[in-house]
Structure 1
Amino acid sequence: MRPLIVTEFVSLDGVYEEHSPWRAPYDPDDGPFKRDELFASGALLLGRTTYEAFAAYWPTATGAFAERMNALPKYVATSRPGPLGWNATALGPDIPADVQALKSQPGGPLLLYGSGTLAQTLLRHGLVDELRLMVFPVVVGHGKRIFDTLEDLPLTLLATRALGAGVLLLTYGPARP
């Protein structure tokens, strides 16, 4: 069974909301981690908002990272009608069942970038094998928080890593009884 890895940018107080001005500038130490993460993946899993932002940028980007991003199959959780381009397939209305089916297929890990609402749904249904939080050194005080809609979610810390510019990568897995 292929694992599902969720990777999120969050503030110290857990805010994940996209396009927030709080994010620290890119740090060169982030690059190797994000590159390794993408190149180890077999497919991307995205919410519609993240998909649209990525699809507007990556098809015209250049370099090995962009080539890999463009080549990977993408699965999009969306309720909006209309065709998807950029090597993407819409998931059906039962997102957890569709993701479970994707996990049972052969191939490399499924990587979910951002897409906080989708990440919450998959965490709630016990489908996430690894949760990677890139924690930025700022307290926002308001906004959507990654654990807002979740209760009783026992996790086990698997690894920690400093990425530079004060960003800490915390990697969690489901707690095993």
Structure 2
Amino acid sequence: MRPLIVTEFLSLDGVYEEHSPWRAPYDPDDGPFKRDELFASGALLLGRTTYEDFAAYWPTATGAFADRMNALPKYVATTRPGPLGWNATPLGPDVVADVRALKAQPGGPLLVYGSGTLVQTLLRCGLVNELRLMIFPVVLGRGKRLFGTLENLPLTLLATRELGTGVLLLTYGPAAVPND
């Protein structure tokens, strides 16, 4: 079974989406982490908004990272009709069943970038094997929070890493549930 890995940029107060440019500055240590993560994956799983943002940028970008981003198959959770380009396939109305089917296929890990609403669903349904949180040293006070609608989500800390400029990478997996 192929693992599903989620990577999110978060502020210290858990915001994953806020339209101000809060994620800068980027440190050079982020590059190798993001590159290694992308090159190790077998496909991207994206929400529609993230897909549209990426599809507007990456097809015209150049370099090895862009080439890999463009070449990977993409699966998009969407309720909006219409064709998708950029090597993408829409998931059906039962996203959870479709993701389970994708995980059962052979291949490298499914990688989710951003896509907060989709990630909340995946976490709620126990489909995430690894949750990588890049925590940026800023408190926003407003914006969409990744864990705002989730309850009782036990996680196990797998690894920590400093990426520079105060950014921490915290990697979590599902917590083992004790037998009753």
SS in 1 for 2:55: helix
Distance 1:53 1:97 in 2: 25
Q: How does 1:3-42 map to 2 (within 5 A)?
A: 3-17=3-17, 19-42=19-42
Q: Which string of whole-angstrom CA distances, capped at 9 and with x for unpartnered residues, describes residues 55-103 of structure 1?
A: 0110111110000000000000001110000000000011111000000
Identity %: 87
Distance 2:18 2:70 in 1: 21
SS in 1 for 2:98: helix
User: 2:47 corresponds to which residue?
Assistant: 47
Could you list the runs of 5+ residues in structure 1 that have no partner in the other structure?
A: none
User: 2:140 corresponds to which residue?
Assistant: 140
User: 1:151 corresponds to which residue?
Assistant: 151
What stretches of structure 1 move > 6 A for 4+ residues in a row? Answer: none
Considering only aligned residues, what root-mean-square deviation do their CA atoms show, in Å? 0.8
User: 1:168 corresponds to which residue?
Assistant: 168
Distance 1:155 1:59 in 2: 36
- Whether the 8 Å CA contact 1:75–1:89 is kept in 2: the answer is yes
Q: What TM-score, normalized to structure 2?
A: 0.97
Count of aligned pairs: 177
User: 1:114 corresponds to which residue?
Assistant: 114
User: 2:63 corresponds to which residue?
Assistant: 63
Q: CA deviation at 1:18?
A: 5.1
Q: Which string of whole-angstrom CA distances, capped at 9 and with x for unpartnered residues, describes residues 106-140 of structure 1?
A: 00000000000000000000000000000000011
Q: What TM-score, normalized to structure 1?
A: 0.98
Q: How does 1:77-88 map to 2 (within 5 A)?
A: 77-88=77-88
SS in 1 for 2:145: coil
- Whether the 8 Å CA contact 1:24–1:165 is kept in 2: the answer is no
Distance 2:31 2:22 in 1: 19
Letter in 1 for 2:108: G
- Whether the 8 Å CA contact 1:16–1:116 is kept in 2: the answer is yes
Q: CA deviation at 1:26?
A: 1.9
Distance 1:19 1:76 in 2: 22
- Whether the 8 Å CA contact 1:3–1:129 is kept in 2: the answer is yes
- Whether the 8 Å CA contact 1:9–1:135 is kept in 2: the answer is yes
Distance 2:107 2:67 in 1: 19
Letter in 1 for 2:168: L
Distance 1:44 1:55 in 2: 12
